[in-house]
A = this chain, B = another copy of it.
């Protein structure tokens, strides 16, 4: 397992409810790829969403996001943490 930060652009105006729904759509199926989405943060002004996860691979993160209807624009493995 490794840790990942993925980024979604183009989400201007996203609401708390939409972020919650998107996050729960991920949580509902994440186990099928061995992924766990820990937290998500959104900036409605710039339309950016950041998701922190633990997963076997970046591809597994992206498969869950894609199946949940919101593929990420970037998925970065973040092996370093402070």
Q: Which of A61-82 contact B (CB under 8 A)?
A: 76-82
**Chain B residues with Cβ under 8 A from A20's Cβ?**
82
The answer to whether A40 and B81 touch across the interface, beta carbons within 8 angstroms, is: yes
| Interface contact A14-B82, CB-CB below 8 Å | no
Given A5-B50, A50-B50, verify A44-B79 contact (CB < 8 Å). yes
A43, closest chain B residue (CB): B76
Given known A5-B41, A52-B41, contact A46–B80 (CB-CB < 8 A): no
Partner of A80, one of B44, B77, B78: B44
Chain A residues near B (Cβ < 8 Å): 3, 5, 14-16, 19-20, 22-24, 39-46, 48, 50, 52, 76-82
